[in-house]
Chain A
Amino acid sequence: MRLTNVSFRYRRRDPLVIEDADAHLAPGDVIELTGVNGAGKSTLLRLLAGLARPTTGTISERPPVVGFAPDRFPASQPFTVAAYLRHMSRVRGGARWEPWAERLNMRHLLATPLGDLSKGSAHKVGLAQALMAEPGLLILDEPFAGLDADTRQALPSIAAEVAGRGGIVIASDHQGGLRGLPGLRHWSMVDGRLKEGTAAPAAPPPSQATVAVTLPAEELPRFLARMREEGFQARELDTAEEARELPPAAQGRETLAPARPRDTSATREAEESA
């Protein structure tokens, strides 16, 4: 796939959002696209997806099957997750979506109306619809935003798989989630100009802390579900004593809740170690 002198403006007399972009994308490429807000990243992704035409220049040799996962999935639609994915599968000529529901850890969401999904869960639906047809060009706009830890970890290997069978993956990403991948290309948008450089080194792991939370037993399942939904590793401890014996420096970022707290009031207390 090739971009030749691609420039784009939304309306006549508007300033150019993208200026003279030249690039060649080969099968198997994984590209990380960065840039400040408003730099033109999403516009470039729309051009690559074929959703907008360049004002000048050409984009040629686009693979026939394109997968596009937007940064914000449009959840205000009158379908459950399963009904939506079934429809998308038919649009894709019968592509299999079930393996992706499994892989993206969203089987428990299948009966949930799209409008009731959290941001991260809705994002997974957007990823599943983009991945189901084995795209030759996979475009991901901020794919790591709002995802839980398991899916964040799975996404680079999914990108590598798509590239491994000859697909092109391009992801706009502020979080550096793909930086562990070998051969990753790095594009940046600076003032509407596309520049290619070496990928920045992988960011050091964030500092981590383990906290113990005491809460009424009946609130536990909902609390754990919410924490997991927000990307934290959360688990239930056997006893409150175990919570007090936490190591000074924990290996993971965990929220630990005792199973039968003595204090069953609504007050929550947290101890932070590390």
Chain B
Amino acid sequence: MIALAAFRLAAYVRSHRVFQALLLTLALLAIVHGSRAPRGAEATVLVDGAVLLVPVLAWAARSLLDTEPDRQREMSAVQVGGRGKEVVAGLLAAFAACAVFAALGLVWALLLGISGSPPPGLLLAGLILYAISALTGTALGALTSRAVLPSPAVSIMALLLGFLAMLLLSATSLYWLTVPLIPWMKAANSGELLGAFSTLAWISLAWCLIGLTAYGWLRRRS
């Protein structure tokens, strides 16, 4: 399974599709962290960066999963010993790619986005938040990949509208019905990030797992 994940990552890099997401990530980070934020705004900078990265990470995950031709996906499933292992290997590869881009975002934010060094608690929260961002991108990208949505037009629309729906729904009192992106940003702005962290993190993780499970369920026949 790890070997199959490595194969898919290698295909993603060697096909040069990786540069699409890399360039998009660099452009986004250059804009978001164009000017260094003043002291005291570390939490806001870290959270805004993690939230805004989600659609780019979803794009990266979708692109990685779509690199493999459909017929090769079938052959991979036979070789690795079943559809389930092939699906998990694909998700592992997608998460690995998203984690690299998310790490790039975190390092950029720490080096060029903030003025002081964040306290250890905030740093740890930031680390977990970027991991959640990578997981959210993986789930959204997987759900809009070609194996689930064969039409490229429908797929890219679903990705963008899915992210917008997450933003809109999480801005309401029903924020717990999706990954609560807006509550993350609100908590950081109001200085209550660490206090609300546990609740928001569990809701986020739960929805990521639901998304990944839905992907596995949808892939059971394709």
- Interface residues, chain A, with chain B CB atoms under 8 Å away: 46, 49-53, 64, 66-68, 70, 72-74, 76-79, 87-88, 90-93, 126, 129, 133
What's the Cα separation between A72 and B80 when bound, in Å?
20
Query: Are B69 and A77 interface neighbours, CB within 8 A?
Result: yes
Assembled-state Cα–Cα distance A133/B69 (Å): 22
Judging by beta carbons under 8 Å apart, are A68 and B71 in contact? no
Closest chain A residue to B14, Cβ basis = A78
Query: A53-B221, A78-B15 are contacts. A70–B77 as well, Cβ < 8 Å?
Result: no
A74 and B69 within 8 A (CB): yes
Q: Mark B75-86, 1 if CB is under 8 A from A, else 0.
A: 111111111000
B74 and A88 contacting across the interface, CB-CB below 8 Å: no
Residues of A within 8 A of B78 (CB): 49-51, 66-68
Cβ B82 vs Cβ A50 within 8 A = yes
A-B contact count (CB 8 A): 64
Per-residue A-contact encoding for B112-123, CB less than 8 Å = 1, 0 else = 000000000000
Which of B4, B7, B70, B83: most chain A CB closer than 10 A?
B7
- On whether A76 and B69 interact (CB within 8 A), knowing A52-B221, A91-B76, the answer reads yes
B contact set with A: CB distance below 8 Å? 3-4, 6-7, 10-11, 14-16, 68-72, 74-83, 220-221
A51 neighbours in B (Cβ, 8 Å): 74, 77-78, 83
A70 x B11 contact (CB < 8 A): no
Which residues of the other chain, B, contact A52 by a CB distance below 8 angstroms?
A: 221
Across-interface contacts of A73 in B (CB, < 8 A): 71
Contact between A87 and B80 (Cβ–Cβ < 8 Å)? no
- Please indicate the chain A residues that have their CB under 8 angstroms from the CB of B74 in the complex: 46, 49, 51, 68, 70
A91 interface neighbour in B68, B70, B79, B221, Cβ under 8 Å: B79
Verify B80–A74 contact, CB threshold 8 A: no
Contact of B79 among A46, A64, A72, A92 (CB under 8 A): A92
Q: A53-B221, A77-B11 are in contact. Are A91 and B69 (CB under 8 A)?
A: no
Nearest Cβ on chain A to B191's Cβ, whole angstroms:
48
Chain A to chain B: the 8 pairs with minimum beta-carbon distance, closest first: A74-B69, A78-B14, A90-B3, A74-B71, A68-B78, A87-B7, A78-B15, A74-B72
- Whether the pair A77, B10 counts as a contact (CB closer than 8 A) is no
What is the distance, in angstroms, from A47's C-beta to the closest C-beta of chain B? 12
Which partner residue on chain B sits nearest A69 by CB separation? B75
A52 to B76, CA, bound (A): 14
- Do A79 and B11 contact each other (CB < 8 Å), given the known contacts A53-B221, A74-B69? yes
Distance of A78 Cα from B13 Cα, bound (Å): 9
Contacts of A70 on B, CB cut-off 8 Å? 71, 74-75
Can you report 12 residue pairs joining A to B where beta carbons are below 8 Å apart? A50-B82, A70-B71, A70-B74, A70-B75, A74-B69, A77-B72, A78-B11, A78-B14, A87-B6, A88-B7, A91-B7, A93-B3
